[in-house]
Amino acid sequence: MIEIKDLHKSYKMGSNSLHVLKGINFSVEEGELVAIMGSSGSGKSTLLNILGMLDVLDEGSYTLDGVPIKDLNETKAAQYRNKFLGFVFQSFNLINYKSAMENVALPLYYQKVGRKERQEKALKYLEQVGLREWADHLPSELSGGQKQRVAIARAMAAEPKVLLADEPTGALDSTTSYEVMDLIQKINDAGNTILIVTHEPDIADMCKRIVHLKDGVIVEDKKITQVRASQYV
Protein backbone atom coordinates (compact mmCIF):
# COMPACT_ATOMS: atom_id res chain seq x y z
CA MET A 1 0.00 0.00 0.00
CA ILE A 2 2.77 2.42 1.02
CA GLU A 3 6.41 2.18 0.02
CA ILE A 4 9.02 4.77 1.00
CA LYS A 5 12.62 4.39 -0.14
CA ASP A 6 15.58 6.43 1.11
CA LEU A 7 13.42 9.44 1.94
CA HIS A 8 15.14 12.71 2.83
CA LYS A 9 13.52 15.98 3.84
CA SER A 10 15.08 19.27 4.89
CA TYR A 11 13.59 22.63 5.79
CA LYS A 12 15.29 25.88 4.89
CA MET A 13 15.95 28.05 7.95
CA GLY A 14 17.32 31.32 6.57
CA SER A 15 20.71 30.48 5.14
CA ASN A 16 20.77 27.16 7.01
CA SER A 17 18.97 23.95 6.28
CA LEU A 18 17.48 21.58 8.86
CA HIS A 19 17.82 17.97 7.76
CA VAL A 20 14.69 16.41 9.36
CA LEU A 21 14.30 13.01 7.66
CA LYS A 22 17.58 11.28 6.86
CA GLY A 23 16.99 8.21 4.74
CA ILE A 24 13.71 6.58 5.74
CA ASN A 25 12.90 3.14 4.32
CA PHE A 26 9.42 1.99 5.23
CA SER A 27 6.55 0.05 3.79
CA VAL A 28 3.02 -0.58 4.99
CA GLU A 29 0.75 -3.38 3.84
CA GLU A 30 -3.01 -3.07 3.45
CA GLY A 31 -4.81 -3.57 6.78
CA GLU A 32 -1.94 -2.55 9.07
CA LEU A 33 -2.39 -0.34 12.13
CA VAL A 34 0.93 1.42 12.64
CA ALA A 35 2.04 3.81 15.38
CA ILE A 36 4.83 6.26 14.56
CA MET A 37 6.60 7.22 17.78
CA GLY A 38 9.55 9.37 18.73
CA SER A 39 10.46 12.34 20.82
CA SER A 40 9.49 15.89 19.93
CA GLY A 41 11.28 17.07 16.80
CA SER A 42 12.20 13.55 15.62
CA GLY A 43 10.28 14.08 12.36
CA LYS A 44 7.02 12.18 12.99
CA SER A 45 4.65 14.85 11.66
CA THR A 46 6.96 15.60 8.75
CA LEU A 47 6.85 11.93 7.76
CA LEU A 48 3.06 11.77 8.16
CA ASN A 49 2.63 14.97 6.12
CA ILE A 50 4.72 13.50 3.30
CA LEU A 51 2.73 10.24 3.45
CA GLY A 52 -0.42 12.38 3.33
CA MET A 53 0.87 14.29 0.29
CA LEU A 54 0.57 17.50 2.29
CA ASP A 55 4.32 18.04 1.96
CA VAL A 56 6.87 16.94 -0.63
CA LEU A 57 10.01 14.90 -0.19
CA ASP A 58 13.43 16.16 -1.32
CA GLU A 59 15.05 12.85 -2.16
CA GLY A 60 13.94 9.24 -2.38
CA SER A 61 10.66 7.78 -3.53
CA TYR A 62 7.12 7.34 -2.29
CA THR A 63 4.75 4.88 -3.93
CA LEU A 64 1.12 4.80 -2.81
CA ASP A 65 -1.04 1.90 -3.99
CA GLY A 66 1.42 1.23 -6.82
CA VAL A 67 1.61 4.83 -8.05
CA PRO A 68 4.87 6.81 -7.72
CA ILE A 69 3.73 10.11 -6.21
CA LYS A 70 6.33 12.26 -7.94
CA ASP A 71 4.83 11.30 -11.32
CA LEU A 72 1.57 13.09 -10.46
CA ASN A 73 0.98 16.71 -11.38
CA GLU A 74 -0.69 19.02 -8.84
CA THR A 75 -4.26 18.36 -9.99
CA LYS A 76 -3.79 14.61 -10.16
CA ALA A 77 -2.05 14.64 -6.78
CA ALA A 78 -5.03 16.46 -5.20
CA GLN A 79 -7.47 13.98 -6.75
CA TYR A 80 -5.35 11.07 -5.61
CA ARG A 81 -5.08 12.49 -2.09
CA ASN A 82 -8.88 12.96 -1.83
CA LYS A 83 -9.52 9.48 -3.11
CA PHE A 84 -6.95 7.51 -1.12
CA LEU A 85 -6.22 9.39 2.08
CA GLY A 86 -8.22 10.44 5.12
CA PHE A 87 -6.88 12.73 7.84
CA VAL A 88 -7.49 13.07 11.56
CA PHE A 89 -5.74 15.80 13.58
CA GLN A 90 -5.07 16.42 17.25
CA SER A 91 -7.20 19.57 17.22
CA PHE A 92 -10.13 17.92 15.36
CA ASN A 93 -10.29 20.68 12.69
CA LEU A 94 -14.09 20.70 12.59
CA ILE A 95 -15.94 23.66 11.10
CA ASN A 96 -17.50 25.39 14.10
CA TYR A 97 -20.60 26.81 12.43
CA LYS A 98 -21.57 23.52 10.79
CA SER A 99 -23.43 20.68 12.52
CA ALA A 100 -21.81 17.30 13.14
CA MET A 101 -23.68 15.93 10.13
CA GLU A 102 -22.62 18.81 7.86
CA ASN A 103 -19.01 18.36 8.95
CA VAL A 104 -19.11 14.65 8.10
CA ALA A 105 -20.86 15.38 4.77
CA LEU A 106 -18.23 17.92 3.68
CA PRO A 107 -15.77 15.57 1.90
CA LEU A 108 -18.74 14.09 0.04
CA TYR A 109 -19.66 17.57 -1.16
CA TYR A 110 -16.15 17.90 -2.62
CA GLN A 111 -16.60 14.48 -4.22
CA LYS A 112 -19.75 15.93 -5.86
CA VAL A 113 -22.08 13.45 -4.13
CA GLY A 114 -25.71 14.68 -4.27
CA ARG A 115 -27.34 16.30 -1.21
CA LYS A 116 -29.62 13.41 -0.21
CA GLU A 117 -26.89 10.79 -0.51
CA ARG A 118 -24.50 13.07 1.40
CA GLN A 119 -26.92 13.29 4.29
CA GLU A 120 -27.62 9.55 4.29
CA LYS A 121 -23.93 8.69 4.25
CA ALA A 122 -23.08 11.28 6.91
CA LEU A 123 -25.74 9.80 9.20
CA LYS A 124 -24.45 6.30 8.50
CA TYR A 125 -20.90 7.27 9.52
CA LEU A 126 -22.11 9.20 12.56
CA GLU A 127 -24.03 6.06 13.54
CA GLN A 128 -20.80 4.05 13.21
CA VAL A 129 -18.99 6.31 15.66
CA GLY A 130 -21.97 6.24 18.04
CA LEU A 131 -23.10 9.82 17.45
CA ARG A 132 -26.23 9.48 15.31
CA GLU A 133 -28.31 11.39 17.85
CA TRP A 134 -25.78 14.27 17.86
CA ALA A 135 -26.11 14.88 14.11
CA ASP A 136 -27.69 18.34 14.47
CA HIS A 137 -25.35 19.59 17.17
CA LEU A 138 -22.56 22.10 16.62
CA PRO A 139 -18.97 21.13 17.56
CA SER A 140 -19.15 23.58 20.51
CA GLU A 141 -21.89 21.38 21.99
CA LEU A 142 -19.73 18.24 21.87
CA SER A 143 -17.04 16.92 24.23
CA GLY A 144 -13.44 16.52 22.99
CA GLY A 145 -13.91 12.79 22.46
CA GLN A 146 -17.16 13.35 20.57
CA LYS A 147 -15.47 15.97 18.36
CA GLN A 148 -12.70 13.52 17.52
CA ARG A 149 -15.30 10.84 16.70
CA VAL A 150 -17.02 13.31 14.34
CA ALA A 151 -13.62 14.04 12.76
CA ILE A 152 -13.04 10.29 12.32
CA ALA A 153 -16.52 9.88 10.79
CA ARG A 154 -15.71 12.75 8.41
CA ALA A 155 -12.43 11.12 7.38
CA MET A 156 -14.16 7.75 6.87
CA ALA A 157 -17.09 9.22 4.91
CA ALA A 158 -14.79 9.75 1.93
CA GLU A 159 -13.94 6.01 2.12
CA PRO A 160 -10.16 6.44 2.04
CA LYS A 161 -7.81 3.49 1.63
CA VAL A 162 -5.45 4.89 4.26
CA LEU A 163 -6.29 6.89 7.37
CA LEU A 164 -3.53 9.15 8.72
CA ALA A 165 -3.92 10.46 12.25
CA ASP A 166 -1.53 12.99 13.82
CA GLU A 167 -1.76 12.72 17.63
CA PRO A 168 -5.48 11.84 17.47
CA THR A 169 -5.63 11.45 21.26
CA GLY A 170 -3.21 14.27 22.08
CA ALA A 171 -5.95 16.65 23.27
CA LEU A 172 -7.96 14.01 25.18
CA ASP A 173 -7.89 12.58 28.70
CA SER A 174 -6.89 8.94 28.98
CA THR A 175 -10.41 7.43 29.21
CA THR A 176 -11.51 9.38 26.15
CA SER A 177 -8.25 8.49 24.37
CA TYR A 178 -9.01 4.79 24.88
CA GLU A 179 -12.53 5.28 23.48
CA VAL A 180 -11.08 6.94 20.38
CA MET A 181 -8.46 4.18 20.03
CA ASP A 182 -11.18 1.54 20.44
CA LEU A 183 -12.95 3.16 17.48
CA ILE A 184 -9.71 3.27 15.47
CA GLN A 185 -9.11 -0.43 16.21
CA LYS A 186 -12.65 -1.25 15.01
CA ILE A 187 -12.12 0.72 11.79
CA ASN A 188 -8.85 -1.18 11.30
CA ASP A 189 -10.60 -4.51 12.02
CA ALA A 190 -12.93 -3.65 9.12
CA GLY A 191 -9.86 -3.67 6.85
CA ASN A 192 -8.70 -0.05 6.74
CA THR A 193 -5.00 0.78 6.79
CA ILE A 194 -4.22 3.28 9.56
CA LEU A 195 -1.08 5.18 10.60
CA ILE A 196 -1.03 7.12 13.85
CA VAL A 197 1.57 9.56 15.15
CA THR A 198 1.69 9.43 18.93
CA HIS A 199 4.16 10.01 21.73
CA GLU A 200 2.04 8.02 24.21
CA PRO A 201 3.31 4.43 24.70
CA ASP A 202 -0.08 3.12 25.89
CA ILE A 203 -1.70 4.42 22.69
CA ALA A 204 1.08 2.89 20.54
CA ASP A 205 0.54 -0.45 22.34
CA MET A 206 -3.00 -0.47 20.92
CA CYS A 207 -1.54 -0.62 17.38
CA LYS A 208 -0.25 -3.71 15.56
CA ARG A 209 3.16 -2.27 14.77
CA ILE A 210 5.35 0.45 16.25
CA VAL A 211 7.88 2.43 14.22
CA HIS A 212 10.27 4.47 16.32
CA LEU A 213 11.91 7.58 14.86
CA LYS A 214 14.97 9.23 16.37
CA ASP A 215 16.69 12.24 14.84
CA GLY A 216 15.11 11.57 11.46
CA VAL A 217 15.89 7.86 11.14
CA ILE A 218 13.93 4.73 12.03
CA VAL A 219 15.69 3.15 15.01
CA GLU A 220 13.10 0.44 15.70
CA ASP A 221 10.28 -1.17 13.73
CA LYS A 222 8.45 -3.90 15.60
CA LYS A 223 5.28 -5.90 15.15
CA ILE A 224 3.14 -6.18 18.28
CA THR A 225 2.10 -9.78 18.90
CA GLN A 226 -0.18 -8.93 21.78
CA VAL A 227 -2.09 -5.79 20.80
CA ARG A 228 -3.52 -4.01 23.81
CA ALA A 229 -7.31 -3.88 23.85
CA SER A 230 -9.13 -0.73 24.79
CA GLN A 231 -9.29 -0.28 28.54
CA TYR A 232 -12.49 1.67 28.68
CA VAL A 233 -15.74 -0.07 29.52
Q: Which residues of the shown chain bind ligand ATP in the complex (CB under 6 A)? A: 11, 18, 20, 38, 40-46, 199
**Least Cβ distance, residue 58 to ligand ATP (angstroms):** 13
- Which of 15/40 has CB closer to ligand ATP? 40
- Which of 10/231 has CB closer to ligand ATP? 10
| Dihedral pair phi/psi, residue 77, rounded to 5° | -65, -40
The residues facing 34 across adjacent strands are 195, 209
Query: Could you give the CA distance from residue 189 to residue 187 in angstroms, rounded to a whole number?
Result: 5
Q: Which residues have C-beta within 8 Å of that of residue 66, sequence separation ≥ 6?
A: none
**Least Cβ distance, residue 93 to ligand ATP (angstroms):** 16
**Least Cβ distance, residue 163 to ligand ATP (angstroms):** 18
**Least Cβ distance, residue 25 to ligand ATP (angstroms):** 18
**Least Cβ distance, residue 127 to ligand ATP (angstroms):** 33
**Least Cβ distance, residue 88 to ligand ATP (angstroms):** 15
Apex CA 227: angle with CA 1 and CA 172, to 5°? 90
- Which of 11/109 has CB closer to ligand ATP? 11
- Which of 9/121 has CB closer to ligand ATP? 9
- Which of 182/200 has CB closer to ligand ATP? 200
- Which of 40/225 has CB closer to ligand ATP? 40
